[in-house]
Structure 1
Amino acid sequence: MKITLSALFSWRLHAVVLVLACLAEWIGIAKFDIGIGTMVLLPLLYAFVFATFFNPNIVSITKNVVGGAGNRVAAQWILIFLMPFIAKFAVGIGPKIHDIIAAGPSLLLQEIGNVATVLFAMPVAVLVFGMGREAIGATHSIAREPNIALIADRFGLKTPEGIGVMGVYVMGTLFGAIYFSIMPAIIASWNVFDVRALAMGCGVGSGSMMGACSAALTEILPEHKDDIVAFAASSNLLTYATGLFVSIFIALPFAQWLYRVLTKHRKHAAVQANDEFVSLSDNEEVVLSLGQTLIALVFAGVMMLVVNWVGTGTSPAESFLGMLILLVCCVIGVLIKNVVKLGVPSIAWVSVVAICFALPAMPMADNVIAATDKLGLLPLITPALAYAGLAISRAEVNLFKKSGIKIAIIALLTFTGTYVGSVVIADWFL
Structure 2
Amino acid sequence: MNNTTILSSTMTKHLFDWKLHLLVIITSLFAEWIGIIKIPIGIGTLVLLPLLYAFIFTLLLNPNVIPSMKAVISKDRAKFASYAVLLSIMPFIAKFGVGVGPKVEEIIAAGPALLLQELGNVMTALIALPVAVLVFGMGREAIGATHSIAREPNIALIADKYGLQSAEGIGVMGVYVMGTLFGAIYFSLMAGIIASMDIMDIRALAMACGIGSGSMMGACSAALAETVPAQAETITAFAATSNLLTYATGLFVSLFVALPFTEFLYKVINKFKKNNDISTATQTDFGLKVPEQSILSVKQSLSLLAVICIVLLLSNWVGQGVDPISALPAMLILFACCIVGVLLKEVIPVNVPAIAWISIVAILISLPQFPLSEYVLVETEKLGVLQLITPVLAYAGFAISQMEVTLFKKSGFKIAVVALLTFTGTFLGSAMIAQAML
**TM-score using structure 1 length:** 0.97
Report the equivalent of 1:279: 288
Q: Which residue of 2 aligns with 1:132?
A: 139
CA–CA separation in structure 2 for the residues paired with 1:23 and 1:409: 31
Q: Secondary structure at the match of 1:120?
A: helix
Aligned residue for 2:370?
A: 362
Pairing partner for 2:235 from 222, 228, 233: 228
Q: Which residue of 2 aligns with 1:208?
A: 215
SS of the equivalent of 1:53 reads helix
Deviation at 1:155, TM superposition (A): 1.2
- 3-state DSSP class of the match of 2:38? strand
TM alignment of 1:176-325, pairs within 5 A: 176-269=183-276, 272-273=281-282, 276-281=285-290, 283-325=291-333
Q: Does 1:59 align with 2:66?
A: yes
What is the deviation of 1:129?
Answer: 1.4
Structure 1 residue ranges, 4+ long, deviating more than 4 angstroms after superposition? none
**Structure 1 residue aligned with 2:127, among 103, 116, 120?**
120
- State the distance in 1 between where 2:69 and 2:285 align: 27
Q: Check conservation: 2:51, 2:391, Cα contact below 8 A.
A: yes
Question: Counterpart of 1:280 in structure 2: which amino acid?
Answer: K
Equivalent residue, structure 2, for 1:412: 420
Q: Do the aligned partners of 2:139 and 2:284 also contact (CA within 8 Å) in 1? A: no
Shift of 1:273: 2.5
Q: Residue 275 of structure 1: CA displacement?
A: 7.3
* Contact 2:84 2:395 (C-alpha < 8 Å) held by counterparts: yes
CA-to-partner distance for each residue in 1:127-148, whole Å, 9 max, x for gaps? 1111111111110000111111
The one-letter code matched in structure 1 to 2:319 is G
Report the counterpart of residue 153 of structure 1 in structure 2. Answer: 160
Alpha carbons 1:110, 1:422 under 8 Å: kept: yes
Distance in 2 (alpha carbons) for counterparts of 1:177 and 1:278: 25
Q: Percent identity?
A: 59
For 1:329, the aligned partner's letter is: C
Gaps of 5+ in 2: none
Q: Which runs of 5+ in 1 are unaligned?
A: none
Is the CA contact 1:94–1:356 (under 8 Å) kept in the aligned structure 2?
yes
**Which residue identity is paired with 2:425?**
G
* Contact 2:139 2:283 (8 Å CA) reproduced: no
Give the partner amino acid of 2:408.
F
Does the Cα contact within 8 Å between 1:38 and 1:189 map onto a contact in 2? yes
Per the TM alignment, residue 64 of structure 1 is displaced from its structure 2 partner at its CA by 3.6
Instruction: Describe how 1:33-48 pairs up with structure 2 within 5 A.
Output: 33-48=40-55
**Distance of 1:278 and 1:365 partners within structure 2:** 51
May I ask how many residue pairs the two structures share in their alignment? 429
TM-score by length of 2: 0.96
Aligned with 1:341: secondary structure? coil
Judge conservation of contact 2:163–2:169 (CA < 8 Å) in 1. yes
Describe the SS at the equivalent of 2:79: helix
One of 392, 395, 410 as aligned partner of 1:387:
395
| RMSD between superposed Cα atoms in Å | 1.3
Deviates more, 1:333-342 or 1:104-113: 333-342
